Structure 1
Amino acid sequence: MGFLDQLKAKLAPAKDKVSDLAQQHGDKIDQGLDKAAKVVDEKTKGKYSDKIQSGTGKAKEAVDRLAGTDEGKDAGGGATPPSPPSPPPAS
């Protein structure tokens, strides 16, 4: 058994645990990602909105993959698209 095979075998229980947690708390994780994205977007005054929105979407996709769901891929899925960034405050 090679080094990588041993490593995979040792990490398998952790992957299963993370998958279970992602399934149980996926909605809370998505809400937290949205909230963090909104705060960061406000702090940067909308300068990086496109990058923040892209990163948030990728993070949500990763959570869905960990949970073993394809909610964001099917038409009737329960995944919500990232909310559009709010406009920067008028100066």
Structure 2
Amino acid sequence: MNSILEALYRGQLDPVEAIVPSHPEYRSLSRQISVQTEQWRNRLGEETFRELEEYFDLRSSVDSIYAEAIFQYGFRLGANLMIEAVGKR
């Protein structure tokens, strides 16, 4: 990657796909979710579980929209901090 601007322009920069949380509990919690998901699938049966998955897909969509808004806010805040820091020379 030559520059961030070039990568962004060419569609080579996708932070959502590049981010892997470094929190020490991330992988453990992900495994627990997988185990519990399978347990719920077995308890509820395929049809009811599919309905539950549709609900979780809706939740995920809302969470993604919220995460995007947080990202935009944080980016703007950082840019404004830099503008203010440079402008106060």
TM over 0.5: no
TM bucket by the smaller chain? under 0.3
Q: Tell me the TM-score normalized by structure 1.
A: 0.27
Query: Taking CA–CA contacts closer than 8 Å with sequence separation of 6 or more, which of the two structures ends up with the larger relative contact order?
Result: 1
Structure (1 or 2) with the greater helix fraction = 2
Q: Tell me the TM-score normalized by structure 2.
A: 0.27
